[in-house]
């Protein structure tokens, strides 16, 4: 075994699996309705009836953590599906396109990359108007495809002269047929790391937007919307409102990063062996 080979991130994988499983199956163990507000119980410290305490609106943080995690993970997965689809299709088009069209498309990608991602998300979110989990996912997904597109373009340019691609084109295979049957199986390894990291970036983006007051409204519980109360909580000394959601968010992002880093290491070693 190569001494420089990274150890398998079992701890990160197990912790992430537990968090995801808890979010998916939260109805079975939630102690209270996560959206129920009771100002008489606002900012209760953890313990007793409220395991993780309550927020400034009297909502049970324990139930909110698991239900809000489901929303955050859903936004991460949906936005990543969208960004991957856009990146793969546009990248493959660039790889197959004539030189002048490829150049024009790549200039567009570079211009898109030159604009700060957060600024683009804020602009598209303002254009969308309605703030809900679906629109947030679409907006984040519509801004996160550039890296995947550049990788796919490079791989398609390498593969387009392969015998199986040429044979398919000679038999009348269209662009999407070739992409689905011949290119995608060869692209998965190259974009897998970026797909994993896009999930992490989308969850972080949703949390950042909510923290800035530009994301989900308070009535839609997510880790980001829970952190939007962080500033007021710090002034009142309600540390649990910041620490507990922040700990779950950071733990999830670190686990995804660790797994993504291992996947990248495995793919790099495979390419070197080839």
State pLDDT tens for residues 204-220.
888 888 777 777 777 78
Task: Read off the pLDDT of residues 222-239 as tens digits, 9 standing for 90 and up.
Answer: 888 887 777 677 777 788
CB atoms within 10 A of CB 102: 16
The lowest-confidence range among 15-29, 51-65, 207-221 is: 207-221
Residues of 206-217 as b/e, b for ≥16 C-beta within 10 angstroms?
bbebbbeebbbe
Q: What would the mean pLDDT of 164-182 be, rounded to a whole number? A: 77
DSSP, collapsed to helix, strand or coil, labels residue 53 as coil
Quick check: 139 and 121 in contact, CB under 8 A? yes
**Residue 2 confidence (pLDDT):** 47
Mean pLDDT of the chain: 82
pLDDT at residue 4, as a whole number: 57
Rg (CA), the chain: 22
Handedness of CA 134, 261, 146, 207 (dihedral sign): positive
Among 74, 99, 37, 59, smallest CA distance to 244 is for 59
Domains and CATH numbers, the chain: 62-273 (1.10.3720.10)
Backbone angles phi, psi at 265, to 5 degrees: -65, -40
Q: Which residues contact 267 (CB under 8 A, 6 or more apart)?
A: 189, 190, 192, 193
**For residue 81, is pLDDT > 50?**
yes
Task: Dump pLDDT digits (tens) for 102-129.
Answer: 888 888 888 888 888 878 888 887 777 7
User: What value does the mean pLDDT take over residues 2-26?
Assistant: 83
Say whether pLDDT at 77 is over 80: yes
Beta carbons of 153 and 95 less than 8 angstroms apart: yes
φ and ψ at 47, to 5 degrees? 130, 155
Q: What DSSP state is assigned to residue 181?
A: I
* pLDDT, greater one: 170 or 140: 140
Q: What percent of the chain has pLDDT over 70?
A: 96
pLDDT at 3 over 50: no
């Amino acid at each position: 075994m190569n001494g420089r080979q990274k150890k398998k991130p079992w701890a990160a994988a197990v912790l992430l699996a537990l968090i995801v499983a808890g979010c998916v199956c939260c109805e079975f163990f939630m102690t209270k309705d996560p959206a129920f507000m009771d100002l008489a119980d606002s900012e209760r410290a953890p313990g007793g009836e409220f395991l993780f305490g309550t927020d400034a609106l009297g909502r049970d943080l324990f139930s909110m953590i698991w239900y809000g995690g489901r929303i955050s993970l859903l936004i991460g997965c949906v936005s990543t599906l969208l960004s991957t689809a856009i990146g793969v299709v546009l990248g493959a088009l660039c790889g197959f396109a004539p030189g002048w069209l490829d150049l024009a498309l790549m200039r567009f990608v570079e211009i898109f990359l030159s604009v700060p991602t957060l600024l683009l998300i804020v602009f598209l979110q303002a254009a969308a108007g309605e703030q809900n989990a679906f629109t947030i996912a679409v907006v984040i997904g519509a801004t996160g495809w550039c890296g995947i597109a550049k990788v796919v373009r490079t791989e398609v340019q390498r593969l387009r002269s392969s015998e199986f691609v040429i044979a398919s084109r000679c038999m009348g295979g269209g662009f999407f047929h070739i992409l689905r049957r011949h290119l995608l199986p060869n692209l998965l390894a190259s974009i897998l790391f970026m797909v994993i990291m896009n999930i992490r970036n989308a969850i972080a983006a949703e949390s950042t937007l909510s923290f800035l007051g530009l994301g989900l409204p308070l009535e839609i519980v997510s880790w980001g919307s829970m952190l939007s109360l962080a500033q007021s909580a710090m002034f009142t000394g309600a540390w649990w409102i910041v620490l507990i959601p922040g700990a779950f968010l950071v733990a999830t992002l670190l686990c995804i990063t660790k797994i993504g880093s291992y996947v990248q290491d495995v793919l790099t070693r495979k390419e070197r062996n080839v």
